[in-house]
């Protein structure tokens, strides 16, 4: 897989795969991501998150919904004819750290760590360019991804067309999605999400965005009885990209409810959570930018969507 092949690839039934990355899969995902119809972590695989993003894009363009890339959908996406592959020279700040030796698997093991940083320069660079670590490595065979001065191949995420500020955010528990709409009810953004779990149902209805907190601290409330957490005393987890709520917390009018990032972008929309609306860090940051106007953006929860931990007794919470 190389830059010319990716930049010139066109998606079809024969050039896309739901099992392995392909040049066409990479280009399709990048163009969707630029258009703010996110496939989540870009891995080159035409999996369920990429298909959900494609269907949402087709909906926004008033095209028939399909799991196959239609000629018309591709024509519209490909109007962004900038190369999707770029070069990046690794800088000192990319490898400065400090990095965690290992990300603890349990919440209790995270308390006391000064900062929930990345575990490697590779993880940080992958997140910076919205890609999986596996794809980053595949794009750079034989290159050292942890050395300053080395030029590596990355995704050019670009900015695409900046959407209008969102007036409504729709969270769908059944489909595991977040959609952004403008004042005219036009669909302007889409993001795959992990929306709680069956054992941790939450409010449905309409809430308001109240605050946006960058680099939040996570506060655990022992009354919530999270599975696998044995502490009966409250504790906090320091900020950082591998904090349980990632790099941003979008607080909602239901006490303690919100939308946030994650330490595991590859698991978004594929695994359950402790009652939250979880996006990749970069998608959560885009939602915060597009829907973070305080008191003006409503959030509708469909299909018994679950929420972030509440700060009332029996829940945990995040705060700055």
What is the tens place of the pLDDT at every residue in 248-297? 998 877 666 778 999 999 989 876 555 578 999 999 999 998 887 656 65
Tokens at 15, concatenated: 């050039």
CB-based burial label for 92 (10 Å; 0-12, 13-18, 19+): exposed
Strand order in the sheet with 258-260: 187-192, 177-181, 168-172, 298-302, 205-214, 248-252, 258-260, 277-278, 194-195
| Catalytic residue set | 260, 276
Domain stops at, among 162, 191, 221: 162
**Omega of the bond leading into 98 within 30 degrees of 0 (cis):** yes
Do 254 and 109 share a structural domain?
no
Query: Do residue 141 and residue 196 come from a single domain?
Result: no
Tell me: do 174 and 156 sit in the same domain.
no
- Tell me what pLDDT residue 203 has: 54
- Shared-domain flag, residues 253 and 198: yes
pLDDT tier at 166, thresholds 50, 70, 90:
confident
Residue 276 has what pLDDT? 72
Angle at the Cα of 116 from the Cα atoms of 115 and 117, rounded to 5 degrees: 95
pTM score of the predicted model: 0.88
Structural domain range at position 221:
168-319
Query: At 227, is the pLDDT very low, low, confident or very high (cuts 50, 70, 90)?
Result: low
Q: Does residue 95 sit in the same domain as residue 239?
A: no
| pLDDT at residue 312, as a whole number | 30
- The answer to whether residue 315 scores a pLDDT higher than 50 is no
Of 26, 38, 137, nearest in space to 83 by CA: 26
How much is the average pLDDT of 120-147? 96
What's the number of domains the chain is made of? 2
Residue 1 and residue 149 in one domain: yes
Residue 211 and residue 288 in one domain: yes
User: Which of 102, 136, 162 represents a domain boundary (last residue)?
Assistant: 162
Residues 158 and 193 in one domain: no
**In this predicted model, what pLDDT tens digit does every residue of 76-92 receive, in sequence order?**
999 999 999 999 999 99
pLDDT digits (tens, 9 = 90+) for 36-79: 999 999 999 999 999 999 999 999 999 999 889 999 999 999 99
What percent of the chain lies above the pLDDT cut of 90? 59
* Domain-terminating residue out of 105, 135, 162: 162
Query: Around Cβ 47, how many Cβ atoms within 10 Å?
Result: 18
> What is the pLDDT, as a whole number, of residue 302?
59
User: What is the pLDDT of the chain when averaged over all its residues?
Assistant: 85
């Amino acid at each position: 897989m190389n830059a010319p092949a990716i930049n010139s690839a066109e998606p079809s039934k024969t050039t896309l795969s739901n099992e392995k990355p392909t040049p066409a899969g990479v280009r399709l995902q990048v163009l969707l991501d630029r258009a703010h119809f996110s496939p989540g972590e870009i891995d080159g695989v035409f999996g369920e998150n990429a298909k959900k993003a494609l269907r949402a894009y087709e909906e926004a363009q008033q095209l028939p919904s399909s799991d196959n890339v239609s000629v018309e959908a591709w024509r519209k996406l490909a109007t962004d004819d900038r190369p999707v592959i770029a070069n990046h020279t690794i800088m000192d700040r990319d490898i400065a750290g400090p990095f965690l030796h290992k990300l603890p698997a349990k919440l209790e093991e995270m308390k006391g760590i000064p900062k929930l940083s990345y575990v490697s320069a590779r993880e940080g660079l992958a997140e910076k360019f919205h890609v999986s670590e596996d794809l980053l490595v595949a794009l750079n065979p034989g290159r050292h991804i942890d050395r300053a001065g080395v030029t590596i191949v990355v995704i050019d995420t670009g900015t695409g067309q900046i959407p209008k500020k969102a007036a409504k955010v729709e969270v769908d528990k059944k489909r595991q999605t977040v959609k952004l709409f403008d004042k005219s009810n036009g669909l302007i953004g889409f993001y795959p999400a992990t929306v709680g779990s069956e054992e941790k149902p939450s409010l449905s209805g309409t809430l308001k965005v109240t605050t946006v907190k960058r680099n939040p601290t996570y506060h655990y409330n022992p009354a919530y009885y999270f599975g696998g957490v044995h502490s009966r005393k409250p504790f906090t987890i320091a900020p950082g990209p591998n904090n349980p709520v990632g790099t941003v917390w979008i607080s909602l009018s239901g006490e303690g409810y919100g939308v946030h990032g994650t330490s595991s972008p590859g698991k978004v929309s594929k695994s359950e959570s402790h009652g939250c609306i979880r996006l990749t860090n970069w998608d959560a940051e885009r939602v915060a930018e597009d829907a973070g106007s305080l008191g003006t953006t409503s959030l509708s929860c469909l299909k018994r969507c679950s929420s972030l931990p509440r700060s009332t007794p029996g829940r945990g919470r995040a705060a700055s």
